[in-house]
Structure 1
Amino acid sequence: MDIALRNNLDKYISRLQEVARGSRSISLMALRKGSENRTAASKSATLFLAYCALTSLLRRIITSLAEPSCVAIIDVPETWQLEDVVEAAKFIFKDQKQPRVVQHPRVKHRRGWEIDTAELLESKMLIVFVQEGSPVHEDFELAVTVRDRLSPCEPRHIRAISQLRGCGEISYDGAKVIAQQPSTRMEAIFRFGQPAQRAVSRLSQGNSRQPQKEKIRHVDISKGFGAASLWAMDLKKDIQEWREGRLAWAEVDKGCLLYGPTGTGKTRFAVALADACEMALEVGSIAQWQAFKDGDLGDMLQAMQQSFTAAKENAPSILFIDEFDSIGDRKKFPARHATYSTTVVNALLEALDGVEGHEGVVVVGACNDPEKVDSALVRNGRLETHIHFPMPDAASRNQILAFHLPSLADDPALKEIAGRLVEKSGADLERLSRDVRRVARREGRVVSIDDLRKRLDPLPVLTDEQILQVAIHEAGHAIAAEMLKVGKVTKVQVFDNVIHFSDDLEAHGLTSIELSQPAFETRWGLKKLITYHMAGSAAEEVFFKDNSTMAAGSSTSDFARATKIAIRMVTEFGLGTSRYHLPDSIDFNSPLDLWQDHRLADEVNTILHEQYGRAVDMLSGLDTWLKQFAMILAERKVLEHRDLRDLWAQLRGYPT
């Protein structure tokens, strides 16, 4: 029996015995009598496996359940009966009033749903179990806080129940064979005192004679993920050579940090990576570790160690640690939590170093903000490879839609639709595809490209006046870049949403520039960059004597970029009025940090006002040029590099 199994078996047995004592339909004596007893034993096995699966899932979503109000939708695989899972959930929560557990109807009748959502949604915490593939009440779809999938029959749980019932040890591969069976087969597999491995052999023989079930489709890690695809293919090749004995484990990459916005596919990529490399996948997270047992420091460290132990025992494996940035940085912990948090980081460092001594384990972390991660965790020798997962561009969105809607993959209109779905994450596109498939399924037909078109939100068509304002704004950026020599302008665009659409940003216009890459920055160089970012709004003020919201409103807007540069000038580069050096002193995701430091706020404000004024002064002296540039842009909508080169020559009077 493996270490993780030994550590948890006593707890599982104790819990199962509690189930037997507490259930009206099961008793300890009944487990030893007749054919009805075998049915009761089957129910106990199913309840045991459902309990284990629910416990793992609840740990994963515990942060959502801890919210003041939560509606959780849990998809249950078709091979498992909802009744068994609901019974296990009621056992876990015993007589507690919260959360409220609901079994969702499998179908919607002509007279409507046989469920009162208004009454159910009055509960502060509601867990709705849905048969996978079944429709969900529209009210639950609107109110859902978190949605996840139950994964019953984890191999470690199957191996535990086999030991519990005296059915002998089962190999990891054998447990995977059993995991593919419906819950109704557990009686035949786990008869008391009968070897479960015999059932595994018979199942394997039967599978070899029958057509194999369709394998779960994973995303193609070899394309569509940029740098991540290159790293993944290198890892796959190294793992294969290591298996063949042609490569020492010391030569294999041991860790990688995937970072980027929520919903960009980091978790899906990790799952597909494990499948492509034919490695076991162990999943953990800070929230999951903290939810273990009572959640105190000792329990959390034990849960963390169990994740690493399981990964080592199932090697070759990938240990995927989600929400890696929630681990934190020892330099930034509040004093009252410093001891606890520092101990967690130190334990994780020790665990990562311990992986060095165990072949076959690759650690993959995923987070939204790598700047929140302790630098020691991501240095060379630990999670040394860092790969950005941006929001998918138009080409990547096309690939994602083609994956989820394979019948439309060759339709040329799919590329056009993907281009219209600006700033949609991989998760957004998966949800869109699921909705489209549901509509077609209910109508008894295949998905069509028109199903997708109907889901597109109509874009506002710009008037001539609005097009001119956008053109003035982008002309300001382009002229400032050219005059200040901050980089090479490659394209300037206006999106009218009739013929010209934005592919990658929710924007009305865009100035594309290849910024200069100096060996080091200067005070004047950074100020010129701030002037460039603020020149769009300054151009509007020069021409219209007014400003619009085009320069602000998001973390990637003109003003946001200018503000971040000014903050770094003051806090990191010593280019403010003081020479102090305070790296990482400002959390750019928490604007309150800036406003609470009045001295810093005043100094940053001074820099921004100064450079905005410089942009206004510069463009005021070039107002005729600004107008001519904008009029040409408003007419053509797109100015490529060649057009710009000719335009600079025409307007400035020097030869190309």
Structure 2
Amino acid sequence: MKQTLLRFLKTRRALAALALLVGVAVGGVWLAWPAAHSDAGLLPAGAAGREMALDAAPWQEHQRDGAALLADLKAGRVEAVGITPDALLVSTAAGERYFVLDGRGAFANLAIAQARDAASSPFELAMLPQVHVGPDARGGWDRAFEVIRVLLSLLLPVALIGVVLHVMRQDVFSMGKLVQRPRDIRFADVIGASEAKAALSDVVQFLQQPARFAALGAHAPRGVLMLGGPGVGKTLLAKALAGEAGVNFIATNGSEFTSKFFGVGVAKVKQLFATARKNAPCILFIDEIDGLAKRSQGNGAAESEGNRIINQVLVEMDGFAENAGVIVIGATNLAENLDEALLREGRFDRRVHVKLPDVRDRADILRLYAKKLPAAPALDFERLARVTTGLAPSALAYIVNHAALVAAREDAAEVSMAHLMESVETARIGERNGAQRALSPDELHRVAVHEAGHAVVASALHSGKVEKVTILPRGGALGVTLVTQEEDKTLYPKSFIEARIQMLLAGRGAELLLLGEASSGAAQDLQECSRLALDMVARYGLSEQAGLFSLAAVPAQHAGGLMSDAVKQANALLNDLEARCAEVLQTHLHALKSLTAELLEQETVEGDRVEELVHPALRRAA
């Protein structure tokens, strides 16, 4: 009831202010509008002018043009000229009276100038703003339209200012309407991110028991910076922190502080932190905090406003008392774009890295999302977790949802493993693009040889598990060999990187072995294996010829000559690995030819069949 009354009073005040503005505008028009009938004190000084003002009818009986007026002026026959808003009233010495239409007043100025320069005798000049010649256009609708025009000319600027002020006010006070209470989200609802949850556990304890920490002279960090790639769950983790501690949650993002109006960004910062203090204890979450950028030395309006916004954030964070119960959490994957003052102790003095889920976490996440679908009972989530290495939880959610779309497209009753694998390939490689129809038989044969080479070497060197080989084009690739890892890797041994490079070179090597020449289809493979070889030589110290020196220690402006040497050594490493790859292909030549033939016949071959072709003895023993 109180809020309703306040809204009513605010409305009454707004209406009263509007009525006052309208009254002022109408009064101004009324005072400025010339009276229809002049008082005697407002009549022109000359006798002819007073006569024209009192009754202009005699002058309206005859009309002449401007040339006649100029001739009379030059001949000195003009006795008086009355200037009205519509015409010029002319009296001659011979008693003749006429008018010259001049609605815009341009000819009046010309006539006066000509008269002053060329008149042979003086004449009376009278200003008659209240006299109208011809039909009384001012007495009907035109007068009303003129009143409306003047009113609008006065009210529109006032209304525009009012709208701008209202938008600015709404822009600022919208920052105070962001309070949420995510009571139902806990750390247990966030799959994975165990390191991040452990790092945030003491923040939960401080928010729940601030007195215990205060008694020991300790205080929680004023700011926590969450670092992680897009879609890893930083926002969900911040909500889970608020839910775990049972406190309020306020969410915004770095771009919300900017505004088209100068000074509003600073007001937004003040309003946001005021709301946070009012709702303490709470979590103030600023997503994409790198949107605040860094303070710059520029003198432009944009740079100045950005600097003032960051300065205000710094001041507000310093203004928190130790027991204020407000913790600011910023999230970004571009920490290098943050201002250095934000990262010092007392502001964002703790960093929490939110990593991608590992293979077990991915399986659990996929199970969680699949529960919401009419899924087939025999889904291999472990396999799905393997083929989704490096994907964020948001990408996994997309894969499950897209699998449902694929099932609906096929009019299936449930989501099967085939639908999920199709969705994984779409997410990782791209949609089927139909480019196969544009390939000639020779090109299709070359694609089959190329992909068979990748698969055979990957299986022979155990550089990963071959899940599928296909010559069906996807995205920008004419064929795909899908190789996954049983476990996520953080450290890569030299043997693993060399096997990976050989697998990348195997497509080109198979073309050379079976077709006699390579093609442009290996461009992407060469780019990737060149990057790996250069890292082995210049960063990892994994080349016997290059030694242990890392080019990462050399400033970029001084690394030119050293880089050319590193490129030569990386090229030598690639040549050596290419020779070793050719030996592997020659050893498994039968498997290479058989897999090529099956690809041309079936278009897609599963990974188990590749293993049978490359390791027949192991399959027979099993």
More helix by percentage = 2
**Which of the pair has more CA radius of gyration?**
2
> Which TM class, normalised by the smaller chain length?
0.3 to 0.5
The two structures have a TM-score, normalised by structure 1, of 0.46
